Amino acid sequence: MTSLACGSTLSLLLRAANPNNAARSLHLSSNLLPGFSHKLLTASSSSSSSKTVGVRVTRAAAQVAEAVLVDKEDKSRVLRVGVICGGPSAERGISLNSARSVLDHIQGEDLHVSCYYIDSHLNAFAISSAQVYSNTPSDFDFKLESLAQGFQSLSEFAEHLADSVDIVFPVIHGQFGEDGGIQELLENNNVPFVGTGSKECQQAFNKYNASLGLSKYGFVTVPSFLVQGSEVNQDELSEWFASNHLDVNSGKVVVKPTRAGSSIGVTVAYGVSDSLTKANEIISQEIDDGVLVELFLEGGSEFTAIVLDVGQGFDCQPVVLLPTEVELQFQGSGDVREKDAIFNYRRKYLPTQQVAYHTPPRFPIEVIKNIREGASLLFQRLGLRDFARIDGWFLPSSTKSLSSSEDKFGITEFGTVLFTDINLISGMEQTSFLFQQASKVGFSHSNILRSIISRACLRFPELATYSSKSSQFQKNLNSSKLNGTSKGREGFRKVFVLFGGDTSERQVSLMSGTNVWLNLQGFDDIQIKRTPV
């Protein structure tokens, strides 16, 4: 994961040291979150433990249940959070990593975490923290019957949650997590939860429906063609290619499932025949029965932006952090098609030297403002809640422009901003965009996760007492990074974070080093450099 080592170049502190970038970085930072300081909340209370309620529990499972339940009479003293991970999609392993990260950073005397797992067949289990810290779901999937508390149905699981936790934090990525499945189950059983409601999830998670919504709300969208199940009309697709000035035999497009996260199943195709072949592969692999064929955005730069809701209760006031530009890098590759590659699942989650991240993006200030304004509007228009990640592309004016009305949102003098993907539950691994972007305004992993949970509590009167105003952001507003009084390079203390090595534990060292690096970025007088060894 050499690409992660590039992260040190993301620091606004380092950008500020460059005279050409200083004004730009400070201008962006000082306008980042206006009015946020008195609105961002963080959970607080104190702790306890309790007896279990048995549901087909073995002795080992009873011990799990004993560990995860807190007595109702102590409810006023501790916020009981149920973290649910897993799910039926190929992102089950990433979900487990997110759950581990959440558990690492929110557990405390004032907040008790219970962990739950949904397997690939939608069976629900209460699991121990030891299982959460497994490398992959396959490490414990086969042990669930004997080591976990199982539930006979999802309805029984929901009833258990209603009695055993105060609020649920779903970290299921993809199907059943972001498509409204788990949200509908919780809503039907009146269980409070973090994040967007079921109907809004269904709309935003489906890429085709989301694109229609974007167009309806006046945003520039990427031209696309829907392949639904076996109902494929090659002539219609050929006409779509021609209408978008693409060669029917070699025109370059992106083929992707309408309902899947983390770029699963996303690929590049060339011409009508290749597009249909790859669409049929997605359908035959049962990734999805709907597939989008989209224009390949030549010369564009991909970005992603984290949006946080800082409103009170149902009053939505989204704030967008500094976006991140995703740069694919290829060194010495002679494969033209490899240079057409996309930010796929492997490049997101596995070690690679082919990706670099830039926060803020290397775009003109007006474009960054447009991205942040657009992401905020989308968050409101689509009815999202608490937090989300919104991905898109910036096409410079020098590239081939899309045929679009000038009055569409996203048209700037420097180029076009397009939003393409709505992520209802952003990844929460240690190096995720959520934590990278939050660190730029001085938030630690714990700060940002607790703030999100506290914000969600405000929607539920019975949980309002668990929310208390945080002074953390006020401290950050007064810091040199946000008020435009950044010190010169000589005012910093240099800290080198060394990680890696030649042992089998170097991957663990990488995660530890990255965690230290991200948390140290919240300090104003430290210049951090990560060094792999």
Please tell me the distance from the alpha carbon of residue 182 to that of residue 158, in angstroms, as a whole number: 10
Sorted by where each begins, the domain ranges of the chain are 79-195, 224-295, 300-330+346-423, 493-532
Average pLDDT across each block of 10 residues of the chain; the chain has 533 residues. List them in order: 34 34 37 37 35 36 42 63 94 91 92 95 94 87 90 97 97 94 98 97 94 93 89 88 94 90 80 94 88 90 94 89 85 48 45 74 95 96 96 87 73 93 90 90 91 94 71 38 39 74 65 60 58 59
Please tell me the distance from the alpha carbon of residue 87 to that of residue 357, in angstroms, as a whole number: 29
pLDDT value of residue 221: 93
Instruction: Outline where DSSP puts E strands in 359-444.
Output: 387-396, 411-412, 415-423
Buried b (16+ CB within 10 A) or exposed e, 418-436: bbbbbbbbbbbbbbbbbbb
- Topology of domain 300-330+346-423, CATH: D-amino Acid Aminotransferase; Chain A, domain 1 (3.30.470)
- In the three-class reduction of DSSP (H, G, I as helix; E, B as strand; rest coil), residue 134 is classed as coil
Considering the four listed CATH numbers 3.40.50.300, 3.30.1490.20, 2.40.10.340, 3.30.420.40, the one that applies to the domain covering 224-295 is 3.30.1490.20
Residue indicated by tokens 């050929």:
238
Give whole-number Cα distances, 193 to 172, 285, 320, 383, 532, in Å: 13, 32, 22, 15, 39
pLDDT value of residue 496: 80
Q: The tokens of 442 are what?
A: 């001085």
Residue indicated by tokens 């919504």:
213
- The single-letter DSSP state of residue 142 is G
pLDDT value of residue 136: 86
pLDDT value of residue 490: 53
Considering the four listed CATH numbers 3.10.180.10, 3.40.50.20, 1.25.40.20, 2.40.110.10, the one that applies to the domain covering 79-195 is 3.40.50.20
Instruction: Outline where DSSP puts E strands in 185-287.
Output: 224-228, 252-257, 267-270
pLDDT value of residue 429: 86
The answer to whether the peptide bond before residue 461 is cis (omega within 30 degrees of 0) is no
